Amino acid sequence: MGCCGSANRWLGGWRESFIRHLLATDLPALGIRVDPELLRRLEPYHANLGKRLVKSPKVYVRDSGLLHSLLGIQAVNDLLGHPSTGASWEGFCIEQICGLLPPSAQVSFYRTAAGAELDLVVEVGSRKLGFEIKFSSAPKVTKGFWQASRDVGVQQSYVVAPVEAGGTMKSQVACPVAVVGPAQLPSVLAN
* pLDDT tens by residue, 151-170: 999 999 999 999 987 777 66
* Helix, strand, coil percent values for the chain (each to nearest 5): 40, 25, 40
Q: Where are the domains of the chain?
A: 2-190
Q: How crowded is residue 118: how many other Cβ atoms within 10 Å of its Cβ?
A: 27
pLDDT in tens, 38-93: 788 888 997 756 666 777 888 888 888 888 887 888 888 888 888 888 888 999 99
What residues are paired with 127 via a beta bridge?
A: 124
Task: Give alpha helix (H) positions in the chain.
Answer: 2-21, 27-29, 64-70, 76-80, 85-100, 143-152, 185-190
Q: What is the pTM of this model?
A: 0.76
